[in-house]
Amino acid sequence: MSPHNRPFPTALPTAFPTALLTAFPTAFPTAFPTAFPTAFPISFLFLFLFIFLFGCIPEVGPPASLLDGPRVLAMRSEPAEVYPGESVRLVLTIADRTGPIANASIDWAFCSAPKPPTENNVISDHCLRDEVRTISGHGLAVMAQVPLDACALFGPELPPSASGDIVPRPRDPDHSGGFYQPVRARVLGLTAIGLVRIRCGLSGASQETAAAFRARYQPNRNPSGGPLSATETETPVALAAVPAGHSIRFALTVSEDSRESFLWFDPAEQELKLLPEQLRVSWLAGQGSFLRSATTHDAADSHTIHNEWIAPEQAGPVVLWTVLRDSRGGVTVYSHSVQVTASGPS
């Protein structure tokens, strides 16, 4: 595997910490994704993250796949899922149109404010201000201990009482039954939010079911992929010789053990069920144009994820990025070096 066709950073693998991630300008009073006009309120954070992960609304303006400036591509946690009090390695991947940014100084922090039930956002807006617990270190990768009260602040345990009229309540799990400790990272005028999946008790289940869940549940692992291959009208194309202006079909190979099955508690039927993870790849580049910003695996082929890319008209090097995520918050980032060559006469 070439130096530019490997996980970045090399010391890790998934996702954001992380499961979700977006970036905002550092100047608030209200927070909003950088892709939106500044008049949008923070409530659009939830909408932005939903679109980023599930792609249900057409893109407006520059596509999310176009790296037209510095961008936080992902925040990754290793391990991908931990108990409160355990240590994780947090890694931020930052890039611009020319390639990775390796010398940025990052301010890391754990969010410490639970999201009020009245807010329809992934995190509390207090986290975007200063209600945080600082993490030591300013590099792209840091070690941190997940707060012991993470399951109370962001999980199924009763959160501490707060001042005011809002009565705190435990968090509901996501679609995979997971809970997440938010992490905030500020870098290059951007604020990125990542989510570390935390292991908490099973809420709403009998003691027998909860005990069976604890005994059988396997924590998430970050997904992993293989090389990126390219074809044009089913003819193989070398990444070192991609013709300018041509439509190229990319295929990212996913390792067989990346699509894990996990134990899930069905609260309606009060049963434990085994569900398969879903995998998704976000595609990014500073040049050219992807058909879709994110794609999933085909039903008939669970080990390959495809996308179409129109190469730029100008010859030269291009760095492509693939961000592989699973549905339990795991993530791994890969960079791929592509050389666009001048097309011959038609």
| Within a domain: 263 | yes
**By C-alpha distance, which of 269, 263, 271, 276 is closest to 303?**
276
Global confidence as pTM = 0.81
Position 340 scores a pLDDT of 98
Q: Could you give the residue ranges of the DSSP H alpha helices within the chain?
A: 44-54, 150-154, 207-216
- Residue 65 CB-half CA count within 13 A: 25
Q: Could you give the residue ranges of the DSSP H alpha helices within 275-329?
A: none
Asked whether the beta carbons of 73 and 93 are under 8 A apart, the reply is yes
| Within a domain: 346 | no
Position 41 scores a pLDDT of 37
Considering its fold, how many domains does the chain have in total? 1
| Within a domain: 1 | no
pLDDT 10s per residue in the chain (346 long)? 443 444 433 333 333 333 345 444 333 333 333 332 223 334 444 444 444 444 445 556 789 999 999 999 999 999 999 999 999 999 999 999 999 999 999 999 999 988 877 776 778 888 988 889 999 999 999 999 999 999 999 999 987 766 555 666 788 899 999 999 999 999 999 999 999 999 999 988 999 999 999 999 999 999 999 899 999 999 999 999 999 999 999 999 999 889 899 999 999 999 999 999 999 999 999 999 999 999 998 766 768 999 999 999 999 999 999 999 999 999 999 999 999 999 765 5
Our measurement of the distance from residue 36's CA atom to the centroid of its chain's CA atoms, rounded to an integer in Å, reads: 19
| Within a domain: 242 | yes
* CA–CA dist 122, 20 (Å, integer): 9
Domain, as residue range, for 19: 6-341
* CA–CA dist 201, 175 (Å, integer): 16
**By C-alpha distance, which of 162, 38, 14, 191 is closest to 88?**
14
* CA–CA dist 196, 80 (Å, integer): 7
| Within a domain: 227 | yes
Q: Return the structure tokens found at 154.
A: 């962001």
* CA–CA dist 316, 342 (Å, integer): 9
Position 13 scores a pLDDT of 32
| Within a domain: 268 | yes
Establish whether the linkage from the previous residue to 236 is cis, with ω within 30° of 0: no
